[in-house]
Amino acid sequence: MKPPPDCQRLLESLRLRGINRRRRGGSGRHLMRQRGQSLDFREHLPYQPGMDVRHVDWRASFRYGKPDDLLVKTFVAEEDLTLLISVDTRPSMWLPGSVSKVQIAAWLAWAIGHIGLRSGDRVVLHRLYGSASGSVREYRGSTALDGLWSGIESLVGSEPADASTMNLRGLNRLLPPSSAWLVLSDFYFELDPAARRLAAAMLKAREGNRWVIHGDLDTWPAERAIMGNGARRIEGPGAPEDIECDVQDRTIAAVEKNIEAHKERFRELSRCNERFHWEWSEEWTGSNVDAGLWFKENLARDPVVQQLFLRRGSAG
Amino acid sequence: MIWAGILMALLVVLYMAQPRFKRFRLSSARFFKEMPVPRERRFRFSVSRPELSRTFWLQLFALLLILIAFLLRHQTYKASAGGEGQGVWVLVDTSASMSTKQGGKARSALVADTIKQAVDEANRSMKRQFRLSLFDMEVREITLPDSSIGAVLNREDDWAPRPLGTDLARLRALPQPEEGFPITHLLVVTDRPAPDWIADVETPRIVWRDLSAPVENVGITAIDGARNPLTGRVSSFRVEVVAARASSSPAALSLAIVGPGGRRVERPFKNWSRRERSFTSEVEISAETPGSYEIELNVDPETSAYTFDDTARIEIPASGELEVDWQLPDRRIPDLLGWKTETERPAFRVAPFGTELNPADAALFVAAGAATKPDAILDFQEAHPLLRDVNLDAVETLSLPAVELTEELRPVLRRDDGKAWLAEGKLVPGRGPRFVLPGLPQLTFDAEDNREAFLLTTFFNATRALLAERPPEPLYTLTTPLQPVPQGTRLVLHPGEGDTTPDARSVGGFDEDEYDLPGEKRPFWPLALAACAVVLAVERSLAAWGGSKWR
């Protein structure tokens, strides 16, 4: 696994940009990050036994409440954001050979984790497939930055993970109310029970007001260019036997449609419409690819990644 | 070129029929599972297929270069400038006589020195280009790496003698030299004296070098069988030996014969006759038993410079009984002569005149009936074998029957009214020999009976003539360029090969004239193959490092 490119300045820039810019609107069902003083009023609730009587709003109780009711002021709790980054390490993620998807996923996990740790967030790395042992690593605080990349390396490993075992156990514990779940994958899932469980977990997290993001790493444009047209014998994950195929423009279009429909089905199952989409360049047909530059450019301009680090803005 | 085009088309079709599926490993492979069957499988001869592959065109270009190399395998190109000088075609004799020992060496070992001497006698500063051919019963071209005299002299192994005869007539009709290689001189190195005809040849100038020297040799020069003219049976054979350049007749010379039963007989040579520079003698050996006879001269190796004529093996044919299809009712003659009856493949057929026979069969037709009166001779063919020993004066008194001539017959002895007493079939390819006789002898053997004498003589004349048409089975054969190895009854008794008596006769020499010479020529095909190798190397390199469009 190649180490991530030198992009400390870019990451710091992204972090500062998130602090300085306010999220517009504040609408939507995503939780916003909430830090600092937790005296922000949320709402009045009828007093229930066990509530802190110090928070009874006597004035409001007398003005609005029923005679025998007291209204209690509630505040938005002070919450740290949890960034859960799930990395897909199935065999398809280890392709193409020039710059693999798992390589970019690892860099991306490192970059987002880096910003998160610098911002004081809790960062949890999660291996989606393979052995459950060591599939989760938690980091908190700037001091954890040093071990972040080595943690990612050991999490990803050096070989493709077994696509038949999915690590979803205990995921709820990793996703507290104020958390974002970023899944880095090519989403070439067979829609088998395991993938459906993943989709169900994403749906449940989303319904619990977690921010679920599909990080779609799409190598199809580069693979299409590498393959070209003509008589081809195609092999790869998910194809138990070599496929002999006369690749023409209409074949390309059909496969493209097939891929998009496949991903769309998964999105429907998980009811997730928040995603970022990184496409491998068609020019990447050789080995002389400046993957680091491409990674930095994508990271700098991706709106979803930037949005991940925006501070809570004022409503309206 | 038509064949080349067809071959190219075949290659293209083959390429298209067997498309090369390029292998790719893709993360999206699973999405190709639902794709339709490859078009190459449904339409194997897709016209669009070659256009899609750059490597195909490179490979096709390489194949084209291979084809060009094959088609132009005889083409040459000028590799260097020519200039002025002489073009010398060296022709070296490789016949059996070149193995003759002369001064302790075979004559073939003297060839290189003879060539060098011939060239050195001339102006040594003259620029000369050489080519080399060998001759015996055929002329063989030797390909030289360059046209220098050194290249010629380095091919000494090539001119080892072969057990074949010498056909000097082939030197008169040499194949035309390559275009652009002017032959100004023919340098013939042989052990035969220069023939007279070379005086008539003006160009190219012939330099004849006879490297032979007379040496003593004793050897068999002829083996003849004594054959029965009617049956072809060999009852004995004669072996002739010649002691060439001998000072006296070899008194103790004998011939050892091992017959079919393994019985060894030794026969001394006596009654030597002197002929100029040699002595000749012969022995006759009875060969009652058919089969193989091995013959060996009991000769002193010191007096036998040429060894191919010291031994021989002959085969006395087993056949000897005549098989005839006798279709006449009177069988006294075949019974008397012991002829066997054979209707399928007889030596010849004897039938009444007018009988329809297979045109390819040899036949003797006998006229039927009797003449009404004596008649005069109109004409006859002089020296015809049927008329040998025939008393023509008596014919006019014999009242013999005659036949009307048909288109297929021509008269041998014709009477005054145009009918023929004796006739023969016209010589037409594919038709067997045929004779017409006026009747058969009655076997009275009465010397005074002219009619019986005429019929007896003409009958045996006709029989001999018919049998003469059958080639007798040879006692031995000679080696040929196709079968150059002496083996069994295949001998090296070519005329003149063992004759060591003639004095050497060399004629001619190199003149001082200079001629325009072409540049050094080299074959074209290695260039085409080298270009092909480069194209294939480029194609493979592009396939390895040039990206997917070159794969």
pLDDT tens digits, one per residue of A138-183: 998 888 888 999 999 999 998 898 888 888 888 888 888 778 899 9
* Whole-number percent of chain B with pLDDT over 70: 87
Residue A235 and residue B39: Cβ atoms within 8 Å? Answer: no
- Residues in A closer than 8 angstroms to B46, CB to CB, are 246
Q: Kindly tell me the burial class for residue B90, based on how many C-beta atoms sit within 10 Å of its own C-beta (0-12, 13-18, 19 or more).
A: buried
DSSP B158: G
Domain range list for chain B: 2-75+524-550, 83-214+502-522, 217-319+474-491, 323-468
Residue A246 and residue B26: Cβ atoms within 8 Å? Answer: no
pLDDT of residue B42: 45
Q: Which residues of B175-184 are buried (b: 16+ CB within 10 A; e: fewer)?
A: eeeeeebbbb
- Residues in B closer than 8 angstroms to A91, CB to CB, are 27
The token pair at B301 is 């190796």
Task: In whole angstroms, give the CA distance from residue A50 to residue A55.
Answer: 12
Q: Do the domains B217-319+474-491 and B83-214+502-522 match in fold?
A: no
Q: Are A234 and B35 spatial neighbours (Cβ–Cβ below 8 Å)?
A: no
pLDDT of residue A18: 65
Chain A residue closest in CA terms to B547: A286
> pLDDT band at A78, cuts 50/70/90?
very low
Q: What is the mean pLDDT of chain B?
A: 84
Name the fold adopted by B217-319+474-491.
Immunoglobulin-like (2.60.40)
Give the residue-averaged pLDDT of B8-25: 69
Q: Which of B30, B34, B38 sits opposite A246 (nearest CB)?
A: B38
Task: In whole angstroms, give the CA distance from residue B540 to residue A39.
Answer: 73
Task: In whole angstroms, give the CA distance from residue B111 to residue B113.
Answer: 6
Interface probe for A, chosen from B18, B31, B45 (most Cβ of A below 10 Å), is: B31
Q: Which of A231, A258, A286 sits opposite B38 (nearest CB)?
A: A231
* Whole-number percent of chain A with pLDDT over 70: 85
Residue B540 above 90 pLDDT? no
* Long-range pairs for B100-106: beta carbons < 8 A, 24 or more residues apart: B100/B191, B100/B212, B100/B215, B100/B217, B100/B305, B100/B306, B100/B500, B101/B215, B101/B305, B101/B306, B102/B212, B102/B213, B102/B215, B102/B305, B103/B213, B106/B161
> pLDDT band at B193, cuts 50/70/90?
very high
Higher pLDDT, A89 or A52: A89
Higher pLDDT, B106 or A275: B106
Report if pTM > 0.90: no
> pLDDT band at A24, cuts 50/70/90?
very low
In this structure, what are the phi and psi dihedrals at residue A41, rounded to the nearest 5 degrees? -70, 140
Angle at A125 between CA A117 and CA A32, to 5 degrees: 55
Sign of CA dihedral B331, B336, B338, B339: negative
Q: Which of A93, A239, A285 sits opposite B33 (nearest CB)?
A: A239
Per DSSP, helices labelled H in B274-416 are: 332-337, 392-395
Bridge-based pairing of strands B521-523 and B254-258 is unpaired
- Residues in A closer than 8 angstroms to B543, CB to CB, are none
Task: In whole angstroms, give the CA distance from residue B134 to residue B232.
Answer: 40
Higher pLDDT, B61 or B17: B61
Which of A168, A179, A93, A95 lies closest to A127 in space, CA to CA?
A168
DSSP A166: B
- Residues in B closer than 8 angstroms to A160, CB to CB, are none
Min distance B545 CA to chain A CA atoms (Å): 8
- Residues in A closer than 8 angstroms to B549, CB to CB, are 228, 285
pLDDT digits (tens, 9 = 90+) for B210-255: 999 999 999 999 999 887 766 677 889 999 999 988 888 887 889 9
Q: What is the mean pLDDT of chain A?
A: 81
Residues in chain B: 551
Residue B20 above 70 pLDDT? no
pLDDT of residue B372: 66
> pLDDT band at A313, cuts 50/70/90?
very low
Domain range list for chain A: 8-18+81-308, 41-75
- Residues in A closer than 8 angstroms to B31, CB to CB, are 188, 255, 258-259, 262
Residue B502 above 90 pLDDT? no
The residues facing A41 across adjacent strands are A75
Sign of CA dihedral A185, A187, A193, A197: positive
Q: Write a three-state SS string for A198-250.
A: HHHHHHHHHHCCCEEEEEEEECHHHHHHHHCCEEEEEEECCEEEEEEEEECHH
Beta strands per DSSP E along chain A: 41-46, 71-75, 82-87, 122-127, 136-140, 179-185, 211-218, 230-236, 239-247, 275-279
Residue B59 above 70 pLDDT? yes
Q: Which of A227, A231, A237 sits opposite B19 (nearest CB)?
A: A231
pLDDT of residue A124: 94
> pLDDT band at B328, cuts 50/70/90?
very high
pLDDT of residue B123: 77
- Residues in B closer than 8 angstroms to A286, CB to CB, are 547
pLDDT of residue A35: 37
Bridge-based pairing of strands A211-218 and A179-185 is parallel
> pLDDT band at B122, cuts 50/70/90?
confident
> Three-class SS of residue B503?
coil
Give the count of Cβ contacts less than 8 A between chain A and B: 115
Q: Does the domain made of A8-18+81-308 have the CATH classification 3.40.50?
A: yes
CATH class, range B83-214+502-522: alpha beta
> Three-class SS of residue A263?
helix
Q: State how far Cα A107 lies from the chain centre.
A: 13
Say whether the peptide bond before residue A177 is cis (omega within 30 degrees of 0).
no
pLDDT of residue A103: 93
Interface probe for A, chosen from B16, B23, B32 (most Cβ of A below 10 Å), is: B32
pLDDT digits (tens, 9 = 90+) for A31-44: 444 433 345 666 77
Task: In whole angstroms, give the CA distance from residue B147 to residue B433.
Answer: 57
Give the residue-averaged pLDDT of B14-37: 75
pLDDT of residue B16: 59
pLDDT digits (tens, 9 = 90+) for B412-471: 999 888 899 999 998 888 888 999 999 999 888 787 888 889 999 999 999 988 887 676
Residue B79 above 80 pLDDT? no
Which of A278, A288, A289 lies closest to A108 in space, CA to CA?
A278
Q: Which residue has the tokens 């998910």?
A: A238
> Three-class SS of residue A12?
helix
Contact map slice: B 15-54 vs A, CB within 8 A: 19-35, 38-41, 46, 49, 52-53
